[in-house]
Amino acid sequence: MIKTLFARLKQGYRTIPFPVDSKALPERYMGRPVISVDVSEDDARKCEHVCSTGAIGKNNERFVLDLGKCLFCGECQKACSGKAVSFSRDYCLAAENKSDLLISNVKAGQARELSKKIKHIFGRSLKLRQVSAGGCNACEADINVLNTLSYDLGRFGIQFVASPRHADGMVVTGPVTKNMRLALEKTYAAIPAPKLVIAVGACAISGGPYKDHEEVNNGVNSIIPVDLYVPGCPPHPLTILDGLVKIMKKR
């Protein structure tokens, strides 16, 4: 017993404050990309050429980066030497609409407060069920980490629960493999309405690197409607936490 108490003293208080300044993240961390005001044709082409998921390129005459497809590998930044795209350390990436995931040199939207009705119901507590539907266990692991004492998800009134019947919403990872589709649909159906769906990671938003494989669906919203998108491959735990907290407007 006394050993347990000494251990407790040694291990100390380790819960991190939230929100934290993005400078607390490692210098090499790649968060929200920033598009330069003037992008030359040449740089745009270079970026488009190296991107493995088609996340970056010309869209209606504008140079756009789709956060939902981006794997945050930084190849585009390297190809254009940071002239067209550079990655900042801003970890706040979540958005409510797919269109808000498109980054150009005009600032994009971020997760906004939920509609009044939903907020009225979920405003103070949010119980979520997680379903992995082809996720590689990186997104899953960084969702799981929110339950550790470092992030202490419970302090925000958010909890992951063991049954869809107990849940207000569902967090989905993975591109939704064909083999998981039915299980995902059944879990969704088992959650009482009104319900939220949160897609975490490039796979769940767009299919990620598995886009257009015949074994997968290209993300969650090809099956069920999605209320919040959390980009990344995998998203940093702070990015996921930021999305969850913003959707409750608890800050």
Partner 1 sequence: MYNSQPQQLKGEAFASFREFRDRVLQGIRLGARVVSFWGYPAHDGMVILVMTLAFDKEGYLETLSIGVKGSYDSLTPCIPQVHWFEREIFEKWGVRPEGHPWLKPIRFENTHNNNQSLPSVTDFMRIDGEEIHEVAVGPVHAGIIEPGHFRFQCHGEQVFHLEISLGYQHRGVEKALIGGPDKRTIHYMETLSGDTTIGHSLAYVQAIEGLAGCSVPLRASVIRSIMLELERLANHTGDLGAMAQDVGYLPTSSYCGRLRGDFLNTTALICGNRFGRNMVRPGGVMFDIDEAMRKEIIKRLKSIFSDVRNAVSLMLDSAMVIDRFDETGTLTKEEALDLGLVGVAARACGIERDVRFDFPVGAFQFSQIPVSTYSTGDVFARAFVRWLEIQRSVEFILKQLEALPAGSINVAVPPLQKEHINVSLVEGWRGEICHSIITDQDGKISRYKIVDPSFHNWMGLAVALRGEEISDFPLCNKSFNLSYCGHDL
Whether the CB-CB separation of 147 and 153 falls below 8 Å is answered with yes
Find the distance separating the first CA and the last CA of the chain, reported in whole Å: 39
Nearest distance, CB of residue 141 and partner 1, angstroms: 6
Is the bond preceding residue 234 a cis peptide, omega within 30 degrees?
yes
**Does 52 interact with partner 1 (rule: CB under 8 A)?**
yes
Q: Is 213 in the site for partner 1 (CB under 8 A)?
A: yes
Q: What are phi and psi of 186, to 5 degrees?
A: -65, -40
Binding part of the chain for partner 1, among 4-12, 62-70, 107-115, 222-230 by CB under 8 A, reads: 4-12
CB closer to partner 1 out of 33 and 118: 33
Closest CB to partner 1 among residues 7, 193? 7
Minimum CB separation of residue 119 from partner 1 in Å reads 25
Q: Is 218 in the site for partner 1 (CB under 8 A)?
A: no
- Joined together, the tokens standing for residue 78 give 């390297």
Contacts with partner 1 in 167-186 (CB under 8 A)?
174-175, 177-180, 182-183
Stretch (H or E) spanning 138: helix 138-144
Q: How far is the CB of 220 from partner 1 (least distance, A)?
A: 15
Told to check if 81 binds partner 1 by CB under 8 A, we report no
Select the residue interacting with partner 1 from 169, 219, 231, 234 (CB under 8 A).
Answer: 234
For 62, 156, 176, 216, the CA distances from 59, given in Å and listed in that order, are 5, 38, 27, 26
Out of 72, 91, 156, 229, which residue is the one contacting partner 1 (CB under 8 A)? 72
Does position 45 interact with partner 1 (CB under 8 A)? The reply is no
List, as one string, the DSSP characters of 53-112.
SS-EEEETTEEEEETTT-----HHHHHTTTSSEEE-S-----BSSGGGGEESSSPPP---
Q: Which of residues 115-144 bind partner 1 (CB under 8 A)?
A: 130-144
> Which token pair is 154?
């419970």
148 binds partner 1 (CB under 8 A): yes
Phi and psi at residue 128, in whole multiples of 5°? -125, 150
Site residues for partner 1 per CB under 8 A: 3-4, 7-8, 10-11, 14, 25-30, 50-53, 71-75, 130-145, 147-150, 160, 162-164, 174-175, 177-180, 182-183, 187, 203, 208-210, 213-216, 233-234, 236-237
